[in-house]
């Protein structure tokens, strides 16, 4: 899929830290319970760390106790791209930023969380940047 923001990998490497690059551009995963937004309750908007696109809002964030920030819905369904992921010996649904194609995490359904969508967007903190709401 062509993305609105399309940069050569060497430019992404120059703009991102090695840890950000590993997750965002190589579909890595940060260790559970280590991300800066796992337990954050700050009101605001979560943007893609690579391109700044709005992805999620704090109003859709919930406590899943899974070790990563969890959201039950993106702020706009067109903000994310969902792709079948058959890596790691299982079938999952990868979540990418629809604007730049960066890896964000995975979405799971039917886990029984009391949310309006019955979905858990399990997102790496390092893929996000929180813009706190202004008072």
Element containing residue 23 per DSSP (H, E): helix 18-24
Is residue 25 a contact partner of residue 102, using CB atoms and an 8 Å limit?
Answer: yes
Element containing residue 19 per DSSP (H, E): helix 18-24
Please provide residue 57's backbone torsions phi and psi, each rounded to the nearest 5 degrees: -120, 150
Q: Report how far residue 16's alpha carbon sits from residue 8's, in angstroms, rounded to the nearest whole number.
A: 13
CA distance to 17, 67, 70, 91, 113, per residue, from 44 (Å)? 24, 20, 15, 32, 22
Among left, alpha and beta (phi > 0; psi -120 to 50; other), residue 10 is alpha
Residues annotated catalytic, as ranges: 122
């Amino acid at each position: 899929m062509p993305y609105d923001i399309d940069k050569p990998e060497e430019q992404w490497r120059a703009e991102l830290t090695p840890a950000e690059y590993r997750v965002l551009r190589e579909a890595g995963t940060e260790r559970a319970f280590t991300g800066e937004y796992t337990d954050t309750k700050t009101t605001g908007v979560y943007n893609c760390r690579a391109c700044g696109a709005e992805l999620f809002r704090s109003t859709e964030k919930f406590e899943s106790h899974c070790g990563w920030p969890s959201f039950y819905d993106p702020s706009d369904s067109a903000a994310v791209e969902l792709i079948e992921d058959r890596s790691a010996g299982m079938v999952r649904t990868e979540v990418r930023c629809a604007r730049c194609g960066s890896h964000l995490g995975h979405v799971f359904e039917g886990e029984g969380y009391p949310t309006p969508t019955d979905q858990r967007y399990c997102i790496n903190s390092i893929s996000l940047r929180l813009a706190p709401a202004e008072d």
